[in-house]
Amino acid sequence: MSKFCKHQRLLKAAEYTNVFSDPPFRASHQYCLILAKPNNLEHDRLGLVIAKKHIRLAVDRNRIKRLIRESFRQQSRNSMGIDAIVLARKGLGDLDNSTVTKIVNQQWLRIEKKVRMSQR
């Protein structure tokens, strides 16, 4: 199993700002939103915005982060060269692990499809 390395993360505020400013790819769901932008790198990078306002308990926020990172690791085998930010919405923390994984995987597929379409 591969690790979630430092080079796979969005670390600086400027990197987040870059993705938030006019992202060309987005996948929206009732419980989460993924914004993505090409990054001109060989690999994908992930940023997480899991607000306490939407998911009260730290254990739930951490569980959601783990599930999203694992989903990102699995989909990043088909590297698209994007920076992506996953924003949690209200209610995501109330779902069980398999439902969260299913929702996030569906959103990754939508993003991947949009990126592939734009590369044609």
Consecutive 10-residue runs of the chain (120 residues): their mean pLDDT? Answer: 79 95 95 95 93 95 96 83 95 96 96 89
Q: What is the pLDDT of residue 5?
A: 83
3 state SS for 10-45: CCCHHHHHHHHCCCCEEEECCCEEEEEEECCCCCCE
Q: What is the pLDDT of residue 119?
A: 80
* Whole-angstrom distance, CA of residue 71 vs CA of residue 96: 15
The CATH code belonging to domain 6-118 is 3.30.230.10
- pTM, two decimals, is 0.92
